[in-house]
Structure 1
Amino acid sequence: MAQKIIGREHEIKEIEALYQADKPVFAVVYGRRRVGKTFLVRELLGDRLCFYHTGLSPYELKGKKLKELQLSNFYTSLVRYGSDLKQVPSDWLEAFDALIALLEKQETDKRQVVFIDELPWMDTPRSGFVTALEHFWNGWGAGRQNLMLVVCGSATSWISDKLLNNKGGLFDRTTDEIKLRPFTLGECEKYYQANDIVMSKFDQLQCYMATGGIPYYISMLQKGKSLAQNIDRLFFEPNAKLKLEFERLYSSLFTNAEDCMKIVRLLAQKQQGYTRKEIQEQTKLSDGGGLSATLKALEVSDFITSYVKYDYPKREVHFRLTDFYSKFYLTFIDGRKTTNPSFWQDNLLTSSLTAWRGFTFESLCISHLPQIKQALGISGVQTEASPWKSRKEKDGAQIDLVIERADHIDNICEMKFCDDDFVINAGYDKNLRHKLSTFLEETKCKNALHLTLVTTYGLKFNEYAGRVQKVITMEDLFK
């Protein structure tokens, strides 16, 4: 069955090993919504499931009797798998007791796989769900050598707080956790090849900048259409699927979706992001633990990333938006009243699209740091990577990425998205010299500096090209 799955080799091995293990397993598979968790588990374990259930989305239910609807839905799944329960359970303790009864009457000498999908959605306010789950695992499941409980959830902050870092009855109870991340460029390329979608690497880069390697989004691409036609169809035509996705995405993941969207909208305005203090001042969100919890929830769900700039104090943490889909939506669609259904095809050569490609290529490179390290031949070397900005010059020198290496070399990385070989002219050469001298003067860096260019096609050789010690192209990013 697993041959239909693109990439995910490591996760497939891990899940198969858990299936073969002679011990009770409580595995958590989590990651950003639409990243392919359900597909992976169902494809791998589908014909081996003894019980499978999916929680109902509170976003779709719009505040109706949530607990009753979730219990009724669970009851339907119990009956489908052979439970002789005669009525909907009155609470979650009763529901899980019915699941225990169902599993006990099944054949017990082989592996029993229970898969509960979108688990966080089932934990509605004051429902007692987590207590009942504790009772199911601690009181029964943990003593069953043949039980494999797999739970999934997109609400990563719930998974983190209630399961992985639980301070109560589920403390340290999960036996394994598997975080599913978006596809890399190389995995996206395998997906396109498997689905007969023909696209140059140059276009695949731009597709990644809009979709971020989220399998569900790239599964909507139609073969036989150009990338520009596909982007218009998914984002700009009336009722385009990904035009309507933004609010649904955040509302289905976060109980305080409005606050999350406020923060994400702010972070979309500035490539290097903002500090916590700046976020609080600009969004006017209350400065208690709530803001820290919201930032943490956005970060564990892979929408934003925290980092400290090179040579800055550790407490000066910046947050930046790293979810490509959100960035694309907020740049081109949010609040804009374009009614042109072929907006992308009609604007390919405009300055706004050129600027977007330049900024977003930088984010794409940072998200493919392992591929950059591989191209530099330093995969095994310990590194710290972060941008740098001059503290002394207003709007002064800045470096896209500094890779500080344990072997006493710093790679000073410049990222350039071009539709041909990049050319260093006299003006840019002067800019580079100024950057490097300011960096050395302000940071007092003792390491050797290697100027590194990460670009699409390559570097055109001229009188200034010799300053660059290493050129990394998009071919390297696909490895």
Structure 2
Amino acid sequence: MFVGRKFELDQLNKLYMREGFQLVILYGRRKVGKTALIKEFIKDKYCLYYALDESTEATAMDNFNKLISSFFNIEELSPLTISWENCLKAIADNSGNKRLVVVLEELSFIAQNNSLFLSQLKKAIEFFFKGTQIFLIISGSANGFMEKTFLNPKSSLYGLQTAQFKIEPFSFYESSQFFPNLSIEDKIIYYSTLGGIPQYLMQFDYSKDYESNVMEFILNKSSYLYNEPENYLKAQVDDINFASKILLILSKGDYNLERFHNKNVSVGEDLILMIKKLKKLNIISRRRSVGKSIVRPWTFYRLEDNFFRFWYRFIYKNRGLIDMNMIVYLFQNKIKRDLNSHIGYVFEEISTEYLKRLNAEYKLPFVFETIGSWVGYNPVLRKPSQLDIVATSYDSVLVGECKWSQSLTTVDVLENLVLKSETLKYKNKYYCLFSKCGYEDKVFDYVKNKDNFYLFTLKDIDS
């Protein structure tokens, strides 16, 4: 089942309709859906598709040679003449005047071990492919390699592309297409667990209840998801234990460098380098507080991948229980007990996404230009505090609080939001609440006859 990626498909098809050679760079983390997008795009097109793997260069080149020979019905290059350059030239020489899509996936497997490969690719693009109707797609999962090779001004291949696409994990609304018939509450629960990686979303059976899915497809030692975060990191970082220590801390909430130190993680070069690596992998992000404040806010780190957050919070330290076949106990006494706390962070992101939709539809009192959160020392409260949502324009701000709990949101929450927001200095202030279970009557009394307060429920998010 292919879902989403409408923007990318529309843009690829527009580029496809252009005359002449086109080069598209497509990159993103592993399992984010690059291959599915490419296959959806080429399903009705004349295409030569080659995915490299971790086999030896000689084997990869020989397979490429055989593929070209079979595709064009020509003789294979001889052992004396075979090279990447000659293989690419053979494609150009036999492509004719017909639009031909050529897909090369995971070039990093070759390029990182053969310093001549990229120069041969550059020659093919500049001398063999120019003037043809070839539509070349180069795709890769090694984000650092792809950006450094094709998008860095210092690279010899920089500027040759017609377009580039960074394929991101699905948003909440895109992910919901995997389970369209579920209630909005269940959609949020599943998205908070699996995040927006298509490969993860496809593992669950959404005709079953949440507990059954978690026990069968995460807590089951033979399941794909059981050890996926650790397996992924083993191929990406040198010190898996140190990376896991950082992610374990971030699975409980946002941290700045000082708070890492408080968790007995030395704030030194090793930490900085590992954080940079995890950022490149799009697993964590470095966020700056949004808004004009009377004090300087903090910069903080957030674990962006929902499934990694779920796994490090509930699975990483509890695999001993799974080894003892105590998965029911683990679910009931660990996961179920703290699930609402875990979902709370994701609910903030979903609420932010909903506000972005309203903003794009001009349904808010002003058009905001930036949106995020605010974390720092609040001089009004005389202690550190957080504003879940802060959306700003030059002279206006919308401040929001998100409550994922089993009880009605009280007027105290709203009053505290107003108090906390006094640290932000804007001419026009607006306030919003997002609540899972709704609001007590006093909240409605508080906002009555006020035009700068907005109350949202799950029903609004689902609309």
TM-score class normalised by the smaller sequence: 0.7 to 0.9
Query: Paired residue for 2:125?
Result: 137
Correspondence 1:169 to 2:156 = yes
1:232 corresponding residue in structure 2: 215
2-structure distance, mates of 1:364, 1:183: 12
Structure 1 pair 192–353 and aligned structure 2 pair: CA distance change class (3 A): closer
Check if 1:105 corresponds to 2:89. no
Aligned in 2, Cα 1:351/1:228: closer, same or farther, shift over 3 Å?
Answer: closer
1:285-364 alignment to 2 at 5 Å?
A: 287=269, 291=272, 295-310=275-290, 311=292, 317-336=299-318, 337-339=320-322, 340-342=326-328, 346-347=332-333, 350-364=336-350
- Listed one character per residue, the Cα deviations across residues 279-306 of structure 1 (whole Å, up to 9, x for unaligned) are 8996558628x946x6455435432222
Q: Does 1:473 pair with 2:450?
A: no
- Under a length normalisation based on structure 1, what TM-score does the superposition of the two structures give? 0.81
Deviation at 1:403, TM superposition (A): 1.6
**Equivalence map 1:232-271=2 (5 Å):** 232-252=215-235, 254=236, 256=238, 258=240, 261-262=243-244, 264-265=246-247, 268-271=250-253
Q: Deviations over 1:125-151 (max 9, x none)?
A: 34533222222212322x134111011
Cα 1:320–1:150 shift into 2, 3 Å: same
Q: 2:111 aligns with which of 123, 140, 146?
A: 123
Query: What is the CA–CA distance in structure 2 between the aligned matches of 1:5 and 1:349, rounded to whole Å?
Result: 31
For 2:68, the aligned partner's letter is: L
Bigger relative contact order (CA 8 A; separation at least 6): 1
| Residues 199-238 of structure 1: pairs in structure 2 closer than 5 A | 199-238=182-221
What CA distance in whole angstroms lies between the structure 2 residues aligned with 1:322 and 1:395? 26
Match of 1:41 in 2: 38
Give the equivalent residue in structure 1 for 2:47: 50
Change (3 A) 1:434 1:210: closer
Change (3 A) 1:88 1:218: farther
AA in 2 matched with 1:459:
Y
Give the Cα separation in 2 of the matches to 1:300 and 1:199: 34
Give TM-score scaled by structure 2 length: 0.84
Structure 2: which 5+ runs fail to align?
none
Give the paired residue count: 450
3-state SS, counterpart of residue 390 of structure 1: strand
2:17 is aligned with what amino acid? Q
Q: Deviations over 1:330-353 (max 9, x none)?
A: 111113222233457535884322
Match of 1:454 in 2: 434
Q: 1:71 aligns with which of 61, 75, 79?
A: 61
Which piece of structure 1 moves more, 380-389 or 24-33? 380-389
Match of residue 15 from structure 1: 12
1:424 to 387, 396, 410: 410
In 2, Cα distance between the equivalents of 1:282 and 1:123?
A: 39
Q: Deviations over 1:83-119 (max 9, x none)?
A: 533566898xx1232132144124x111111001222
CA drift at 1:276: 9.1
SS in 2 for 1:388: strand
Alpha-carbon spacing, 1:218–1:140, altered in 2? closer, same or farther (3 Å): same
**Sequence identity (%):** 19
Alpha carbons of structure 1 residues 47 and 297: separation in structure 2 relative to 1, 3 Å: farther
Q: Note if contact 1:26-1:173 (Cα within 8 Å) is conserved in structure 2.
A: yes
Residue correspondence of structure 1 range 397-436 to structure 2 within 5 A: 397-406=385-394, 408-419=395-406, 422-424=408-410, 429=412, 432-434=414-416, 436=418
> Kindly tell me: are residues 230 and 70 of structure 1, through their superposed partners in 2, closer, same or farther at Cα, counting changes over 3 Å?
same
- More displaced 10-residue stretch of structure 1: 204-213 or 329-338: 329-338
SS at 1:236 equivalent = coil
Question: Are residues 231 and 122 of structure 1, via their aligned partners in 2, closer, same or farther at CA, if it must alter by over 3 Å?
Answer: farther
CA distance in 1 between counterparts of 2:113 and 2:259 reads 31
